[in-house]
Chains A and B, each alone.
Chain A
């Protein structure tokens, strides 16, 4: 079982002047896995993706995509990779079909197959009836779907999605989730960055939590919960004095403070005596946000 992983980063460092954006990052994504890269603003998610396409050059470490060393053989790698950037860079004055045709020409698709590839991508984006509309006239959600379809026009084996649903309304987000789900079912390797917990939980086989340029935890969602926060949390609301009191009583237990509440994690293993002193709290199911906050001390948006 020494199959080459689809993506492999070892000891990767990327500095911008005094700032270390990616700090000795080790990350492997096996073929066919959808990995959610979860991290707050500035964690280094986009920089990591740029290094995978050879658009940023690592200062240290090695990177491989489908066995191709990057940046040395990044061109071959890019032909097998589909990239959906965080910021929309479609050609606004061209139509949907034209945007897709350009990408189909840039990618290794035989000339005869290009019209079909464009038609398939339009169908995927549910934009077949807008094929000849200029991109500038589309809604934000349509543009995002087109941007994703453009990255998939050549049926890539590896897909990089940088914050695919950021700033979109729930309906559009659900549409995009359907597309990502489809990729997973087709066995495509997906690396998806996000700061939406729900998105990671819902779509990813595996989650890597990234903070300050490093991966600080990695595993299947359930596994991360089991390892770090257990099954339940007990949540208390109240004035700051009350919350401080709760924290004092829960001494020794992992806790998490967010605004007007404090959660005691691993509620299922709170000793009976402590339970009595704490009084009535609200029991809820533990979530990945608990893991994230516990590990990073930061709050996702």
Chain B
């Protein structure tokens, strides 16, 4: 049973905040992946004629969608959730109204996912300026971004409840987020890596996002894509479970 008031309240809050902060939020979420895309796409693209039959800018342009989705979702999940819990005591206030931890985290996760779905399209638009031909499959990209962003939003929330202090995010970013982002097939095909690394990459949700986006743009691949979607859905379910359990522990004394 879904409590409409609880979700409406949390999402109203997000929408009002966003109206105030959208310029900075949008800037940060779009500019960084675009810089990666341009640097790699134009810089390396001059040296590499093609990868698997695609020009390098097409290859990186589609891959960078996942980067944009990751950055906008996981960092929001981590930092925003931490700041609201520890410094602003927002959740202490919200929890005295008829909402529960699970509703707060789910609603905030949905908002993060919606933004990720939109911001994820930015690299695609940039790549189109550099010659990526439009295709109908591209219409699926916001949905892929949404699903991936939902998982990484919950994942970030979970991390925010796990760290002892906000400084610990430095370790999390270097040791966890950066490898996830590099070993996802964004900048080079994973077939370049040793077999064991390829196996590990299979459990990187971001890899499945990259695959789905490429297939959406260049042509679907049947069961392989069903599998990619299934992995992302599992990731969403597990990350949501971990997030809610962890934050309940932190917020309810």
Which residues on A are within 8 Å of B, measured CB to CB? 16, 47, 50, 53-57, 75-76, 78-79, 81, 83, 85, 87, 89-94, 98, 101-103, 105-108, 151
Contacts and interface: CB of A to CB of B under 8 A. Distances in A.
A55 B16 contact: no
A101 B16 contact: yes
Contacts of B6: 106
A83 B17 CA distance: 23
B252 A89 contact: no
Nearest to B8: A105
A167 B47 CA distance: 67
Contact of B17 (A53, A55, A93): A93
Secondary structure type dominating chain B contacts: helix
A268 B17 CA distance: 63
A171 to B, nearest CB: 26
B93 interface: yes
Interface in B194-253: 251-253
Contacts of B88: 89, 91-92
Given A91-B13, A102-B9, A105-B8, A55 B252 contact: yes
A11 B91 CA distance: 28
Interface of B: 3, 5-6, 8-10, 12-13, 16-17, 20-21, 88-90, 92-100, 251-253
A297 to B, nearest CB: 28
B7 to A, nearest CB: 10
A203 B88 CA distance: 31
Contacts of B16: 94, 98, 101-102
B92 A106 contact: no
A83 B99 CA distance: 13
B100 A75 contact: yes
A78 to B, nearest CB: 5
A89 B89 contact: yes
B103 to A, nearest CB: 10
B251 A78 contact: no
Nearest to A150: B93
B110 to A, nearest CB: 16
Contacts of A101: 12, 16
B96 A107 contact: no
Given A105-B5, A106-B6, A55 B95 contact: yes
B90 A91 contact: yes
B85 to A, nearest CB: 11
Contacts of A78: 96-98
Contact of A53 (B5, B13, B20, B96): B96
B20 A94 contact: yes
27 contacts: A16-B253, A55-B92, A55-B95, A55-B251, A55-B252, A55-B253, A56-B253, A57-B253, A75-B3, A76-B98, A78-B97, A81-B96, A83-B97, A85-B89, A85-B92, A85-B93, A85-B96, A87-B89, A91-B13, A98-B16, A103-B97, A105-B9, A106-B5, A106-B6, A106-B8, A107-B97, A108-B98
Nearest to A98: B16
